[in-house]
Structure 1
Amino acid sequence: MKIIPVTCAIIIHEGKVLLAQRSVKMDLPGKWEFPGGKVEKGEDPKDCLIREIREELGIEIRVKSELTPVLFSYPSKTIRLIPWVAEWRGGDIVLAEHEQYGWYDQNQLFSLDLAPADVPILHELTEKWVNLAVPKER
Protein backbone atom coordinates (compact mmCIF):
# COMPACT_ATOMS: atom_id res chain seq x y z
CA MET A 1 0.00 0.00 0.00
CA LYS A 2 1.22 3.47 -0.90
CA ILE A 3 1.98 5.81 1.99
CA ILE A 4 0.46 9.27 1.49
CA PRO A 5 2.49 12.18 2.93
CA VAL A 6 0.25 14.68 4.73
CA THR A 7 1.29 17.80 6.64
CA CYS A 8 -0.46 19.39 9.60
CA ALA A 9 0.03 22.63 11.47
CA ILE A 10 0.11 23.10 15.19
CA ILE A 11 -0.73 26.80 15.06
CA ILE A 12 -0.11 28.36 18.45
CA HIS A 13 -1.44 31.82 19.26
CA GLU A 14 -1.55 33.42 22.72
CA GLY A 15 -1.05 30.09 24.47
CA LYS A 16 -3.80 28.26 22.57
CA VAL A 17 -3.75 25.81 19.65
CA LEU A 18 -5.96 25.93 16.57
CA LEU A 19 -7.97 22.82 15.72
CA ALA A 20 -10.53 22.39 12.96
CA GLN A 21 -13.51 20.03 12.76
CA ARG A 22 -13.87 17.97 9.60
CA SER A 23 -17.08 18.57 7.65
CA VAL A 24 -19.56 15.96 6.42
CA LYS A 25 -17.97 16.18 2.94
CA MET A 26 -14.60 14.98 4.26
CA ASP A 27 -13.31 11.59 5.43
CA LEU A 28 -13.77 11.21 9.19
CA PRO A 29 -16.64 13.74 9.40
CA GLY A 30 -16.97 15.46 12.77
CA LYS A 31 -13.46 14.57 13.91
CA TRP A 32 -11.16 17.37 15.03
CA GLU A 33 -7.69 17.73 13.56
CA PHE A 34 -4.63 19.89 13.26
CA PRO A 35 -5.30 21.46 9.83
CA GLY A 36 -3.14 20.68 6.81
CA GLY A 37 -3.25 18.47 3.76
CA LYS A 38 -1.63 16.17 1.23
CA VAL A 39 1.84 16.88 -0.10
CA GLU A 40 1.72 17.15 -3.90
CA LYS A 41 4.28 15.23 -5.99
CA GLY A 42 7.60 17.08 -5.85
CA GLU A 43 6.35 19.58 -3.26
CA ASP A 44 8.35 20.47 -0.16
CA PRO A 45 6.34 19.58 2.98
CA LYS A 46 6.81 23.09 4.46
CA ASP A 47 5.58 24.69 1.23
CA CYS A 48 2.64 22.26 1.23
CA LEU A 49 1.68 23.28 4.74
CA ILE A 50 1.78 27.00 3.96
CA ARG A 51 -0.32 26.39 0.81
CA GLU A 52 -2.85 24.13 2.55
CA ILE A 53 -3.38 26.52 5.46
CA ARG A 54 -3.86 29.39 3.00
CA GLU A 55 -6.38 27.30 0.97
CA GLU A 56 -8.28 25.77 3.92
CA LEU A 57 -8.23 28.61 6.45
CA GLY A 58 -7.30 31.75 4.50
CA ILE A 59 -4.45 32.70 6.84
CA GLU A 60 -0.69 33.08 6.53
CA ILE A 61 1.63 31.12 8.78
CA ARG A 62 5.34 30.89 9.49
CA VAL A 63 6.55 27.30 9.89
CA LYS A 64 8.85 26.99 12.89
CA SER A 65 9.80 23.43 13.88
CA GLU A 66 8.89 19.87 12.99
CA LEU A 67 7.50 17.42 15.51
CA THR A 68 7.69 13.63 15.16
CA PRO A 69 5.90 12.32 12.03
CA VAL A 70 3.18 9.70 12.57
CA LEU A 71 2.64 6.67 10.35
CA PHE A 72 -1.04 5.74 10.59
CA SER A 73 -3.12 3.18 8.72
CA TYR A 74 -6.80 3.90 8.19
CA PRO A 75 -8.94 1.15 6.58
CA SER A 76 -8.64 2.73 3.12
CA LYS A 77 -5.18 4.34 3.24
CA THR A 78 -1.93 4.78 5.13
CA ILE A 79 -0.66 8.29 5.79
CA ARG A 80 2.60 9.74 7.07
CA LEU A 81 1.39 12.76 9.04
CA ILE A 82 4.13 15.39 9.29
CA PRO A 83 3.40 17.90 12.06
CA TRP A 84 4.93 21.37 12.15
CA VAL A 85 4.65 23.97 14.85
CA ALA A 86 3.63 27.21 13.17
CA GLU A 87 2.88 30.81 14.01
CA TRP A 88 -0.12 32.75 12.73
CA ARG A 89 1.28 35.65 10.69
CA GLY A 90 -1.84 37.31 9.34
CA GLY A 91 -5.28 37.13 7.80
CA ASP A 92 -8.68 36.21 9.17
CA ILE A 93 -9.78 32.60 9.36
CA VAL A 94 -12.30 31.69 6.66
CA LEU A 95 -13.20 28.00 6.53
CA ALA A 96 -13.09 26.50 3.03
CA GLU A 97 -13.60 22.83 3.98
CA HIS A 98 -14.03 22.45 7.72
CA GLU A 99 -17.24 22.68 9.75
CA GLN A 100 -15.81 24.87 12.50
CA TYR A 101 -12.59 25.74 14.29
CA GLY A 102 -11.54 26.68 17.78
CA TRP A 103 -8.59 27.79 19.87
CA TYR A 104 -7.91 25.40 22.75
CA ASP A 105 -5.63 25.45 25.74
CA GLN A 106 -3.80 22.39 27.02
CA ASN A 107 -6.62 21.36 29.38
CA GLN A 108 -9.27 21.39 26.64
CA LEU A 109 -7.41 19.41 23.96
CA PHE A 110 -8.17 15.92 25.27
CA SER A 111 -11.91 16.62 25.40
CA LEU A 112 -12.05 16.83 21.58
CA ASP A 113 -12.87 13.84 19.37
CA LEU A 114 -9.63 13.85 17.38
CA ALA A 115 -8.84 12.05 14.14
CA PRO A 116 -6.82 8.96 15.20
CA ALA A 117 -3.61 9.99 13.38
CA ASP A 118 -3.60 13.31 15.28
CA VAL A 119 -3.66 11.71 18.75
CA PRO A 120 0.11 10.90 18.95
CA ILE A 121 0.84 14.48 17.85
CA LEU A 122 -1.39 15.79 20.64
CA HIS A 123 0.56 13.69 23.16
CA GLU A 124 3.90 15.07 21.92
CA LEU A 125 2.50 18.60 21.94
CA THR A 126 1.34 18.30 25.55
CA GLU A 127 4.73 16.87 26.60
CA LYS A 128 6.46 19.90 25.05
CA TRP A 129 3.71 22.40 25.89
CA VAL A 130 5.81 24.72 28.07
CA ASN A 131 8.49 25.09 25.40
CA LEU A 132 6.05 25.46 22.49
CA ALA A 133 2.89 27.17 23.69
CA VAL A 134 3.70 29.27 26.71
CA PRO A 135 4.42 32.82 25.54
CA LYS A 136 8.00 33.86 26.22
CA GLU A 137 8.59 36.88 28.42
CA ARG A 138 9.99 39.75 26.38
Structure 2
Amino acid sequence: MERIRVTAGIIINNDKVLITRRAPNENFAGGWEFPGGKIEADETPEECLARELKEELNITVSVEGFCTEVPYDYDDISIDLIAYYCTIVDGEIQMSVHDKYKWVKIEDLLNYDLLPADVPIAKRVVKEKGS
Protein backbone atom coordinates (compact mmCIF):
# COMPACT_ATOMS: atom_id res chain seq x y z
CA MET A 1 0.00 0.00 0.00
CA GLU A 2 1.22 3.47 -0.85
CA ARG A 3 2.52 5.57 2.05
CA ILE A 4 2.36 9.34 1.68
CA ARG A 5 3.53 12.20 3.84
CA VAL A 6 0.98 14.90 4.60
CA THR A 7 0.91 17.97 6.81
CA ALA A 8 -1.66 19.47 9.16
CA GLY A 9 -1.81 23.02 10.49
CA ILE A 10 -2.79 23.67 14.08
CA ILE A 11 -3.94 27.29 13.96
CA ILE A 12 -4.79 28.65 17.39
CA ASN A 13 -6.37 32.04 18.07
CA ASN A 14 -6.78 32.80 21.78
CA ASP A 15 -8.40 29.64 23.21
CA LYS A 16 -9.81 28.39 19.89
CA VAL A 17 -8.37 26.19 17.13
CA LEU A 18 -9.34 26.05 13.46
CA ILE A 19 -10.83 22.84 12.05
CA THR A 20 -12.23 22.28 8.55
CA ARG A 21 -14.78 19.82 7.16
CA ARG A 22 -14.13 17.88 3.94
CA ALA A 23 -16.64 18.79 1.21
CA PRO A 24 -19.09 16.16 -0.14
CA ASN A 25 -17.10 15.59 -3.37
CA GLU A 26 -13.75 15.05 -1.56
CA ASN A 27 -12.12 11.96 -0.05
CA PHE A 28 -13.27 11.46 3.56
CA ALA A 29 -16.28 13.74 2.90
CA GLY A 30 -17.90 15.17 6.03
CA GLY A 31 -14.92 14.48 8.28
CA TRP A 32 -13.41 17.29 10.33
CA GLU A 33 -9.67 17.79 10.14
CA PHE A 34 -6.80 20.13 10.69
CA PRO A 35 -6.19 21.69 7.26
CA GLY A 36 -3.10 20.77 5.27
CA GLY A 37 -2.10 18.45 2.46
CA LYS A 38 0.32 16.19 0.63
CA ILE A 39 4.04 16.96 0.64
CA GLU A 40 5.45 17.29 -2.88
CA ALA A 41 8.84 15.79 -3.80
CA ASP A 42 10.71 19.08 -3.76
CA GLU A 43 9.43 20.67 -0.56
CA THR A 44 9.86 20.48 3.21
CA PRO A 45 6.84 19.77 5.43
CA GLU A 46 6.83 23.43 6.51
CA GLU A 47 6.86 24.64 2.88
CA CYS A 48 4.06 22.19 2.05
CA LEU A 49 1.90 23.41 4.90
CA ALA A 50 2.29 27.06 3.93
CA ARG A 51 1.49 26.23 0.28
CA GLU A 52 -1.52 24.03 1.09
CA LEU A 53 -3.08 26.54 3.49
CA LYS A 54 -2.71 29.25 0.86
CA GLU A 55 -4.26 27.00 -1.83
CA GLU A 56 -7.06 25.53 0.30
CA LEU A 57 -7.98 28.44 2.60
CA ASN A 58 -6.44 31.54 0.99
CA ILE A 59 -4.43 32.32 4.14
CA THR A 60 -0.75 33.00 4.62
CA VAL A 61 0.69 31.39 7.74
CA SER A 62 3.85 31.42 9.75
CA VAL A 63 4.80 27.84 10.68
CA GLU A 64 5.77 28.18 14.34
CA GLY A 65 6.81 24.72 15.51
CA PHE A 66 6.37 20.96 15.40
CA CYS A 67 3.40 19.45 17.25
CA THR A 68 3.46 15.71 16.51
CA GLU A 69 3.62 13.07 13.76
CA VAL A 70 0.96 10.39 13.37
CA PRO A 71 1.33 7.31 11.17
CA TYR A 72 -2.11 6.03 10.16
CA ASP A 73 -3.39 3.30 7.86
CA TYR A 74 -6.73 3.95 6.18
CA ASP A 75 -8.37 1.21 4.08
CA ASP A 76 -6.76 2.32 0.81
CA ILE A 77 -3.88 4.59 1.86
CA SER A 78 -1.25 4.89 4.56
CA ILE A 79 -0.15 8.31 5.73
CA ASP A 80 2.39 9.97 7.95
CA LEU A 81 0.55 13.06 9.19
CA ILE A 82 2.96 15.75 10.39
CA ALA A 83 1.36 18.53 12.44
CA TYR A 84 2.73 22.00 13.09
CA TYR A 85 1.50 24.95 15.08
CA CYS A 86 0.84 27.95 12.80
CA THR A 87 -0.23 31.57 13.00
CA ILE A 88 -2.23 33.38 10.32
CA VAL A 89 -0.27 36.38 9.10
CA ASP A 90 -2.46 37.44 6.16
CA GLY A 91 -5.68 36.65 4.34
CA GLU A 92 -9.33 35.88 4.97
CA ILE A 93 -10.46 32.25 4.99
CA GLN A 94 -11.99 31.15 1.67
CA MET A 95 -12.56 27.42 1.23
CA SER A 96 -11.91 25.22 -1.81
CA VAL A 97 -11.79 21.55 -0.68
CA HIS A 98 -13.83 22.09 2.50
CA ASP A 99 -17.46 23.04 2.94
CA LYS A 100 -17.23 24.39 6.49
CA TYR A 101 -14.72 25.70 8.97
CA LYS A 102 -15.04 26.39 12.67
CA TRP A 103 -13.04 27.98 15.42
CA VAL A 104 -13.63 25.60 18.33
CA LYS A 105 -12.59 25.84 21.95
CA ILE A 106 -9.52 23.69 22.47
CA GLU A 107 -11.18 21.73 25.27
CA ASP A 108 -14.15 20.93 22.93
CA LEU A 109 -11.96 19.65 20.06
CA LEU A 110 -12.54 15.94 20.77
CA ASN A 111 -16.33 16.44 20.58
CA TYR A 112 -16.09 16.76 16.78
CA ASP A 113 -16.12 13.88 14.30
CA LEU A 114 -12.43 14.23 13.44
CA LEU A 115 -10.80 12.00 10.85
CA PRO A 116 -9.00 9.12 12.62
CA ALA A 117 -5.46 10.35 11.91
CA ASP A 118 -6.36 13.77 13.33
CA VAL A 119 -7.58 12.42 16.71
CA PRO A 120 -4.09 11.86 18.22
CA ILE A 121 -3.14 15.37 17.12
CA ALA A 122 -6.25 16.80 18.78
CA LYS A 123 -5.39 14.93 21.99
CA ARG A 124 -1.88 16.42 21.93
CA VAL A 125 -3.25 19.93 21.34
CA VAL A 126 -5.73 19.61 24.22
CA LYS A 127 -2.95 18.36 26.50
CA GLU A 128 -0.42 21.03 25.48
CA LYS A 129 -2.65 24.05 24.87
CA GLY A 130 -5.93 23.40 26.71
CA SER A 131 -6.93 25.30 29.82
* Pairwise same-fold verdict (TM > 0.5): yes
Partners of 1:14 and 1:94 in 2: CA distance: 21
- 1:89 maps to amino acid: V
Q: Which residue of 2 aligns with 1:114?
A: 114
Structure with bigger strand share is 2
Instruction: Return the offset for 1:14.
Output: 2.1
Give the letter for the 1:114 counterpart. L
Equivalent position of 1:8 in the other structure: 8
Q: 1:1-138 alignment to 2 at 5 Å?
A: 1-130=1-130
Q: Write out per-residue CA displacement over residues 84-127 of structure 1, whole angstroms, 9 at most, x where no aligned residue.
A: 00011111000011010000112321211000000000011111
Q: How far apart in 2 are the matches of 1:13 and 1:77? A: 32
Q: What is the deviation of 1:26?
A: 1.1
SS state at 2:111 partner: coil
Match for 1:31: what amino acid? G
**Cα deviations across residues 9-28 of structure 1 (Å, max 9, x unaligned)?**
00011221000000111111
Q: Percent identity?
A: 39
Alpha-carbon distance in 1 for matches of 2:48, 2:106: 27
| 5+ residue gaps, structure 1 | none
How far apart, in 2, do the equivalents of 1:83 and 1:97 lie?
A: 19
**Aligned residues, how many?**
131
Unmatched segments (≥5 aa) in structure 2: none
SS in 1 for 2:40: coil
Considering only aligned residues, what root-mean-square deviation do their CA atoms show, in Å? 1.1
State TM-score, norm by structure 2.
0.96
2: CA distance, partners of 1:59 / 1:95: 10
1:13-67: CA deviation from partner (whole Å, max 9, x where unpaired): 1221000000111111100000000001121110000000000000111001111
**TM-score scaled to structure 1, two decimals?**
0.91
Conserved? CA contact 2:18–2:34, under 8 Å: yes
Distance in 2 separating the partners of 1:125 and 1:113: 16
Question: Residue type of the partner of 1:21?
Answer: R
